[in-house]
Structure 1
Amino acid sequence: MSTQNLDNFSSAALSGSQYVLAPLPYADNALEPVISANTLSFHYGKHHKTYVDNLNKLVTGTDFEGQSLEQIIRTVAGKADKTGIFNNAAQVWNHMFYWHSLSPSGGGEPSSDLKQKIEQSFGSLDACKKEFANAAMTQFGSGWAWLVQDGDKIAVAKTSNAESPITQNIRPLLTIDVWEHAYYLDYQNRRVDYVNTILDKLINWEFAQANLG
């Protein structure tokens, strides 16, 4: 499982002043049969890579060149004239976070520390997973479902398009990508099956534990 966390994982996206496609934390077939190597080849190798390439084109020669993804996202969030920069920087960050939110040895239960915090906030792990799944399934159109830490509370949130909890100073712990390209090759329109299978088989509780503030 991944042991990276919010404090260091996104540095892999920056090489000098250029943004790069950070390597996956597992082989491209490691998530099968839940997520196929074919889906990863398109999702990671094309969609994620396009956001990286677009970001480099947009920020080269500007004050944003060489800044961390988090710096850029927080600086340009909500600025209409910087929408392109925000969308591409945030999508690079969101996708990196999503890859680490999954693990070939995921699923099961979180550590006792995280499980206790979840039970204090939701009543039970099952209730948390149900609310997390509901957020993913009810996000209209493209977007993301998140497990977050908001102060002392563990909560669930959802965002549209490229939005991220970090623009609201809320600490993300895990995410599920519900843009159609994340699941359509494997599940067609069955988003519910994609979401539930991720929560049962791939969700990376160790990454969530590492992200606790």
Structure 2
Amino acid sequence: MQIFKNSKFFFGTLKAHTLPTLKYGYGDLEPVLSATLLEFHHSKHHQAYINNLNAAQEQLEDALAKNDVQKISSLQGTIKFNLGGHLNHSLFWENLTPIKNGGGQLPDANSALVQEINKNWGSVDNFKTFFNTRTAAIQGSGWGFLGVDQQSKKLRYLELPNQEIPQNYGLTPILTIDVWEHAYWWDYKNVRPNFLANVWKIVNWKDVETRYNQAQK
């Protein structure tokens, strides 16, 4: 039961999880993401992770009460996968905002975040190119992350498969892009690079900057 003993994300109070309410309407991210795609992604895919997570947690509570070691062990993978899906998607929604509300607008050039990006990649444009190139090359399903290293407090890029979470790799995520096919197929078919090129137009840099500043404390 290594997961449950060592990770605060996978053990503790087994509260029921709920689908987060978006801060924008399903049609507000157009033309980058269509209302149809966003509604399906949020209300169907994300909700499915939550439903599966809650069901597995109920089974885990029962198994813990009965000290059913075999059942507890068998639930680890299900809980890890679906909780990861819930956490990653929750961050993804917060990282997006409509163009009319400032989507794509960078923080001030003198901000600590922009200066750190420039220090690591030369410019924000260079960072976007780097991020897109690496994330587009993920085989199968996964996520690209920009985060703050929990020890050095420096920015670090990380790509992870499926629903792995960066917290388990010493990284506090401040920005993520979902490159599972369901995140873009409806609008971009199998051309992942086109999705990645356009999604920066709706990135909520204010949210990213806030998360960066919080992670420095």
TM-score range, shorter chain: 0.7 to 0.9
Q: In the aligned structure 2, how far is the partner of 1:81 from the partner of 1:22? A: 24
Describe how 1:105-120 pairs up with structure 2 within 5 A.
105-111=102-108, 112-120=111-119
Name the structure 2 match of 1:139: 138
Deviation at 1:116, TM superposition (A): 0.7
Between structure 1 and structure 2, the one with the greater Rg is 2
Q: How many residues align?
A: 183
Q: Distance in 2 between matches of 1:123 and 1:80?
A: 46
One-letter identity of the residue aligned with 1:208:
V
Deviation at 1:110, TM superposition (A): 2.7
Q: 2:25 aligns with which of 12, 20, 27?
A: 27
- Report the Cα distance in structure 2 between the residues aligned to 1:63 and 1:135, rounded to whole angstroms: 40
Instruction: Give structure 1 stretches of 5+ with no counterpart.
Output: 1-15, 65-78
Tell me how far apart the structure 2 counterparts of residues 39 and 142 of structure 1 sit (CA, whole Å).
17
How big is the shift at 1:119?
0.9
Higher RCO by CA contacts (8 Å cutoff, separation 6 or greater): 1
Letter in 1 for 2:43: G
For 2:178 and 2:53, the matched residues in 1 are separated by 20
Task: Find the partner of 2:37 among 36, 39, 55.
Answer: 39
Alignment of 1:120-135 (within 5 A): 120-135=119-134
Q: 1:103 to 1:130 in 2, by over 3 A?
A: same
What is the correspondence of 1:46-195 to structure 2 with a 5 Å cutoff? Answer: 46-60=44-58, 62-63=60-61, 82-104=76-98, 105-111=102-108, 112-150=111-149, 151-195=152-196
Distance 2:74 2:172 in 1: 24
Residues 24 and 99, structure 1, Cα contact 8 Å, conserved in 2: yes
**Aligned twin of 1:207:** 207
In 1: Cα distance, 2:20 partner to 2:86 partner:
9
2:84 partner amino acid: A
Q: 1:87 to 1:36 in 2, by over 3 A?
A: same
Q: Which runs of 4+ in 1 moved over 4 A?
A: none
Residue ranges of structure 2 left out of the alignment (5+ in a row): 1-13, 63-72
Cα offset for 1:63? 4.9
* Identity %, equivalent residues: 36
Cα RMSD over matched residues? 1.8
Assess if the C-alpha contact under 8 Å between 1:131 and 1:156 holds in 2: no
Change (3 A) 1:19 1:81: closer
| SS at structure 2 position matched to 1:18 | coil
SS at match of 1:176: strand
SS at match of 1:99: helix
